[in-house]
């Protein structure tokens, strides 16, 4: 969206107008033209999820609205404590982070996040000095955007960062799911940054689940996956034991990851336990 006053920059006044419906016609026009291709692309990407940590509520709502129109799933929190909680309990594809927040600074928070999770970070801040930008990139940022900003440029830079990140993941063959990082080359699995020890069979099961999120895998499919690799026969009782052991190793208070579909098989889910109970 463009500001009526400056024609380019996304500012709080523009957001206030948008949120009260003064620019509804412009929104419909942009949604029908500028973002039509983005919606198609987003469907192929399964709606990449973006978490925004921003204490300016009006600006946060405006950014979320524009990201949603561009085909992303965007949510926001206003402080680092809540942001850390959401990052620990949910799966996100990108973090948009302010620097000056009520309960700390974004630079330190970014260092902490990047030491635990492999998630791209873009700073969205009014701190526009060269020294601040250098600190931001040293903190692990993938990009640094100063306020006020052009919302179209913000969206394009978000897409660029996500595109580079996807290429990097493909090259490294790493899967980030919830608080788990699965390295398909080294067979290493990290849970909140700490290594998990899995047997070869447990790792193959985990790989199969991670590569098919949200898809019901029948017991027969999983049996074939386990049998074909070793040439050994695995019966359903043994499969149940392996799944149970894997679940015990990767689950935590927030995630069970492997959901049992009674009478059919299993499904990998990144939803937290509270969301699972609502299903």
* Cβ-Cβ contacts under 8 Å for 263 (sequence gap 6 or more): none
pLDDT at 274: 57
Task: State the pLDDT confidence band at 24, using cuts at 50, 70 and 90.
Answer: very low
Interatomic CA distance for residues 266 and 249, integer angstroms: 16
Backbone angles phi, psi at 97, to 5 degrees: -135, 125
In DSSP terms, which residues pair with 96 in a beta bridge? 52, 122
Interatomic CA distance for residues 30 and 28, integer angstroms: 6
List pLDDT tens digits, range 151-192: 889 999 999 999 888 766 665 577 888 888 898 878 889 998
> Cβ-count burial of 138 within 10 angstroms (0-12 exposed, 13-18 middle, 19+ buried)?
exposed
Task: State the pLDDT confidence band at 276, using cuts at 50, 70 and 90.
Answer: low
**Which helix H or strand E contains 105, and what residues bound it?**
strand 104-105
Ranking 4-18, 94-108, 250-264 by mean pLDDT, the lowest is: 4-18
Interatomic CA distance for residues 27 and 61, integer angstroms: 14
Interatomic CA distance for residues 117 and 98, integer angstroms: 18
Task: Tokens for 36, please give them.
Answer: 């039509």
Task: State the pLDDT confidence band at 273, using cuts at 50, 70 and 90.
Answer: low
pLDDT at 213: 86
Task: Tokens for 237, please give them.
Answer: 């009782």
Interatomic CA distance for residues 56 and 23, integer angstroms: 20
* Cβ-Cβ contacts under 8 Å for 58 (sequence gap 6 or more): 12, 15, 16, 19
Mean pLDDT computed over 248-275: 84
State the first-to-last Cα distance of the chain, in angstroms, to the nearest integer: 36
Mean pLDDT of the chain: 79
Looking at per-residue pLDDT, the higher value among 262 and 17 belongs to 262
β-strands 121-125, 143-146: how paired?
Answer: parallel
| CATH 3.30.365.10 is right for the domain spanning 12-172 | no
Backbone angles phi, psi at 123, to 5 degrees: -80, 140
Residue ranges covered by each domain of the chain: 12-172, 175-277
Contact 216, 264 (CB under 8 A): yes
∠ Cα 50 76 279 (to 5°): 75
Task: State the pLDDT confidence band at 99, using cuts at 50, 70 and 90.
Answer: very high
Mean pLDDT computed over 83-93: 87
Mean pLDDT computed over 45-71: 88
Task: Tokens for 183, please give them.
Answer: 């390295």
Taking the CA atoms of 254, 256, 262 and 265 in sequence, report the sign of the dihedral they define.
positive
Topology of domain 175-277, CATH: Arc Repressor Mutant, subunit A (1.10.10)
pLDDT at 144: 93
């Amino acid at each position: 969206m463009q500001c009526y006053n400056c024609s380019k920059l996304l500012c709080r006044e523009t957001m206030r107008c948008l949120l009260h419906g003064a620019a509804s016609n412009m929104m419909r026009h942009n949604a029908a033209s500028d973002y039509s291709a983005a919606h198609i692309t987003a469907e192929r990407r399964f709606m990449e999820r973006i978490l925004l940590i921003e204490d300016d509520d009006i600006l946060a709502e405006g950014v979320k609205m524009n990201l949603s129109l561009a085909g992303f799933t965007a949510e926001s929190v206003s402080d680092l404590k809540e942001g850390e909680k959401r990052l620990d309990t949910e799966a996100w594809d990108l973090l948009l982070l302010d620097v000056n927040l009520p309960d700390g600074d974004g630079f330190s928070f970014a260092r902490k996040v990047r030491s635990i999770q492999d998630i791209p970070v873009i700073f969205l801040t009014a701190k526009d000095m060269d020294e601040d930008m250098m600190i931001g990139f040293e903190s692990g940022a993938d990009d640094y955007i100063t306020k006020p900003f052009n919302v179209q440029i913000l969206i394009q830079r978000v897409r660029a960062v996500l595109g580079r990140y996807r290429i990097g993941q493909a090259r490294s063959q790493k899967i980030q799911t919830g608080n788990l990082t699965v390295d398909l080359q080294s067979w290493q699995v990290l849970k909140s940054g700490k290594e998990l020890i899995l047997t070869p069979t447990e790792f193959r099961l985990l790989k199969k689940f991670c590569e098919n999120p949200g898809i019901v895998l029948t017991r027969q499919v999983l049996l074939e996956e386990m049998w074909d690799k070793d040439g050994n026969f695995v019966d359903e009782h043994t499969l149940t034991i392996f799944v149970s052991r894997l679940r015990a190793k990767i689950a935590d208070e927030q995630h069970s990851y492997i959901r049992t579909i009674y009478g059919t098989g299993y499904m990998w889910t990144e939803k937290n336990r509270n969301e699972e109970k609502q299903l």
